[in-house]
Amino acid sequence: MIERIGVVGAGQMGHGIAHVAALAGCEVRMADVSEDRLRAALEKIGHNLDRQLRRGVIDEYTKAKTVDQIKITTNFADFGDCDLVIEAATEKEAVKRDIFKSLIPHLRDDALLATNTSSISITRLAAATDRPSRFMGMHFMNPVPVMLLVELIRGIATDDATFEEVRELSLRMGKHPVAAEDFPAFIVNRILLPMVNEAVYTLYEGVGSVDSIDMAMKLGANHPMGPLELADFIGLDVCLSVMQVLYEGLADSKYRPCPLLVKYVEAGWLGRKTNRGFYDYNGPDPIPTR
């Protein structure tokens, strides 16, 4: 049974995974290169727990216990007793490979490894480690404490015991695990990101403005969030990375990233995290940038 979990990365996905793992009763070590980033992540976890407290999802005792379960570190040596380590770093394969190279010497031989990648080949990432049979994808949705789905992706070498242990952990976290095959972008992003990319093309070609595209999809398709607003929430750099994986992995022109999406990323307009994307978030209300 998985009781101690390491999380690599204290960004939005990393601290969300740490949150749900600790809430499920696991001891959590959360690592990042920056102490400031780690402290900011703990603060965000506290805010999210307060939100759950106000909604009656948890009580004061559970909140305090959850916070106490999470320890922060900048040293992978602190992962030596972990049963499972989940990598939740930036969506760049080279970065993930470097993390595994630095991480593996500190792990027990029987420790499991998982990646929260939203699109990269699990088989290829597993081959960069010393334990392909104990490696798999565990793709959480954002925001992790709220979204119920987790995609579980086996690489070609992932064994049954690894899959079952990670599936059981997902259920303990209160998630609904769905098995996905190791194809580019898996299930959710294979369907969702081409829709977002098509919305960007619709803007690029002048079919509609930011406002009109988002309003049309909210009122016409009953989507809770317009596709361009959603792109800003996901991060335009992440959207572009997933589309590049789809385009290169499936060799189909329908997955070609829209040039306007590329231009926004080149400009550093990445969405909410930079306060500017398809909307400008610097004022009291988001303002369309086109």
Q: Per this entry, what is the length of the chain? A: 290
**CA separation for the pair 245, 1 (Å, rounded):** 34
The burial of 5, by beta-carbon neighbours within 10 Å (0-12 exposed, 13-18 middle, 19 or more buried), is given as buried
Question: For position 217, what pLDDT does the model report?
Answer: 98
Pick the CATH number of 190-288 from 3.40.50.1820, 3.40.50.2300, 1.10.1040.10, 3.30.70.150: 1.10.1040.10
Question: For position 61, what pLDDT does the model report?
Answer: 96
The residue annotated as part of the active site, out of 151, 165, 197, 241, is: 151
Question: For position 93, what pLDDT does the model report?
Answer: 93
Average pLDDT for 284-289: 95
- Give the max Cα distance, the chain: 56
How much of the chain, in percent, has pLDDT values that exceed 90?
Answer: 98
The residue annotated as part of the active site, out of 48, 116, 139, 197, is: 139
**Would you call 118 a catalytic residue per the annotation?**
yes
**Would you call 223 a catalytic residue per the annotation?**
no
Average pLDDT for 113-139: 97
Question: For position 77, what pLDDT does the model report?
Answer: 96
Q: Which residue's entry shows tokens 């798999």?
A: 136
**Would you call 3 a catalytic residue per the annotation?**
no
Q: For domain 4-180, give the CATH number.
A: 3.40.50.720
The burial of 196, by beta-carbon neighbours within 10 Å (0-12 exposed, 13-18 middle, 19 or more buried), is given as buried
Q: Where are the domains of the chain?
A: 4-180, 190-288
- Let me know: does 162 contact 112? Beta carbons within 8 Å: yes
**Would you call 139 a catalytic residue per the annotation?**
yes
The residue annotated as part of the active site, out of 15, 19, 87, 118, is: 118
Average pLDDT for 240-247: 94
Average pLDDT for 225-235: 96
- Name the pTM for this structure: 0.90
Fold agreement (4-180, 190-288): no
Average pLDDT for 69-81: 97
